[in-house]
Amino acid sequence: MAVERTLSIIKPDATRRNLTGKINARFEEKGLRIVGQKRLQLTRAQAEAFYGVHRERSFFGELVDFMISGPVVVQVLEGENAVLANREIMGATNPANAEPGTIRADFAESIEANSVHGSDSLENANREVSFFFSEIEIAG
Ligand code: IDP
């Protein structure tokens, strides 16, 4: 087992419904620690850069519009196998397919407005954490 850091984002559908605390309780109850956190209103350029890997996908424009439709909370989660642990706590991308008890099953509104983002590999986690945080903003 390895201690990892991963990037989590609480998306605009969840901040709008005041669900930040309820979502973060799920991470803390499962042993992940929030070691960096900030609330941001992303610009279009920032959202396009963050989701650059999805630029060719049909839903890219809608995804960017959604991600700038309200504030997000970007955060660094730390713990044993944090990348996979976070993905399991989040549940499947489409809430219709998410396991009961996961964040997306319980809170997501749709495949797009699915309440949370989580890095899908350690390599992407390192890149995504660095996108939003400098080392001085993370205290483990
Ligand atoms: P993930 O967030 O579970 O890793 P990805 O396939 O990487 O899923 O997609 C990134 C985000 O794009 C999703 O979380 C969701 O907000 C949005 N998205 C994914 N598939 C669709 C779709 O078919 N329609 C609209 N939005 C989508």
The β-bridge relationship of strands 116-118 and 33-40 is: unpaired
According to the model, what pLDDT value does residue 1 have? 76
Residue 52 lies in a domain: no
Which of 51, 114, 115, 120 is the pocket-test mutation for ligand 1 (most atoms within 8 Å of CB)?
A: 114
Based on the structure, what is the number of domains in the chain?
Answer: 1
Q: What DSSP element (H or E) covers 5?
A: strand 3-10
pTM listed for this prediction? 0.98
Q: Determine, yes or no, domain membership for 57.
A: no
Residue 56 belongs to some domain of the structure: no
Query: What digits encode the pLDDT tens for the residues 75-117?
Result: 999 999 999 999 999 999 999 999 999 999 999 999 999 999 9
In this structure, the residue with its CA closest to atom 17 of ligand 1 is: 112
Q: Is residue 20 in a domain?
A: yes
* Helices and strands, counts by H and E, the chain: 7, 4
Residue 16 belongs to some domain of the structure? yes
Q: Does 127 carry a binding-site annotation?
A: no
> What gap in Å lies between CA 49 and CA 81, rounded to an integer?
26
Task: Read off the pLDDT of each residue in 57-69 and give the average, rounded to a whole number.
Answer: 97
Q: What is the ipTM of this complex?
A: 0.98
Decide if 24 is inside a domain.
yes
Whether residue 114 is annotated as binding a ligand: the answer is yes
CATH of residue 75's domain is 3.30.70.141
117 an active-site residue? yes
Q: Which of 23, 76, 83, 117 is catalytic?
A: 117
Taking CB atoms and a 6 Å cutoff, what residues make up the pocket around ligand 1?
59, 62-63, 93, 111-112, 114, 117, 120
- Tell me if 66 is assigned to some domain: no
Assess if residue 132 is contained within a domain.
yes
| Range(s) of the domain holding residue 88 | 3-42+71-137
Which amino acid residue places its CA nearest to atom 26 of ligand 1? 112
